[in-house]
Structure 1
């Protein structure tokens, strides 16, 4: 992929990944979500001894919602290695809740090189959402 991610975003992602608490998996992940207003919210994974932790994407989305925003424009995820560290199933559903067709989910390698970009339909095809509940 030839698209470059803004170096300031890469720097922020590497920094937040460095603050992850991942003593059990040793797999730190950082996330940055950008809301419709352009505000940026950060998250890192947080593990606990009973193995039910909080993903970086969930952490960042929670920060966005806590700030009163409800719409994702961009999602960035950075893992610790060269491999694709795409959002887990639970996070894909969380992203879906606040995304639309223009939302872009971007996954970077440890150095901040963009590996893959998704739309929400590519990330979670045939998703269940609020409209399925008649909302």
Structure 2
């Protein structure tokens, strides 16, 4: 079974592959699915901001392409922040595939996990498919 250490290592390895020539702000994320698989991603910038991908978005894409659908745990690490929190768009993306109790670990490159919050802490009033009514059918 994967540990938070292996999630952190996967996020750091992904961060090392980030394409961040404009912001010089590499970020890595790793997702643990409910079936124990790890999917990592990095931010990918393009000159036409904000059309690039965040690390969390890349990790979610890898998870979906591998057939995963539910997130059990997330690690986010950035080279230049002590505790990098997902942006607003990524918070909603993560909420789509997780539960309010899903743990989100905010990490420092050297220290590892600095803070752990839940999805509910990050996005207390997220959109949910059950709030869409007939539109979700």
**TM-score normalized by structure 1?**
0.90
Deviations 1:45-104 (CA, angstroms, capped at 9, x unpaired): 000011121000000001111111110000110001243210000000000001113311
Distance in 2 (CA, whole Å) between partners of 1:94 and 1:82 is 22
Deviation at 1:5, TM superposition (A): 4.1
Q: Secondary structure at the match of 1:121?
A: helix
Distance in 2 (CA, whole Å) between partners of 1:82 and 1:101 is 25
Q: Secondary structure at the match of 1:78?
A: strand
Task: Identify the residue that residue 105 of structure 1 maps to in structure 2.
Answer: 104
How many residue pairs end up in the alignment?
Answer: 131
Deviations 1:16-48 (CA, angstroms, capped at 9, x unpaired): 101000000000000100111000101000000
Q: Secondary structure at the match of 2:72?
A: strand
Which moves more between the two structures, 51-60 or 9-18? 9-18
Which structure 1 residue ranges, 5 or more long, are not aligned?
Answer: none
Task: Identify the residue that residue 54 of structure 2 maps to in structure 1.
Answer: 55
Task: Identify the residue that residue 129 of structure 2 maps to in structure 1.
Answer: 130
CA contact under 8 A between 2:101 and 2:120: conserved in structure 1?
Answer: no
Distance in 2 (CA, whole Å) between partners of 1:59 and 1:9 is 15
Q: Secondary structure at the match of 1:38?
A: coil
**TM-score normalized by structure 2?**
0.89
Which structure 2 residue ranges, 5 or more long, are not aligned?
Answer: none
Change (3 A) 1:94 1:128: same
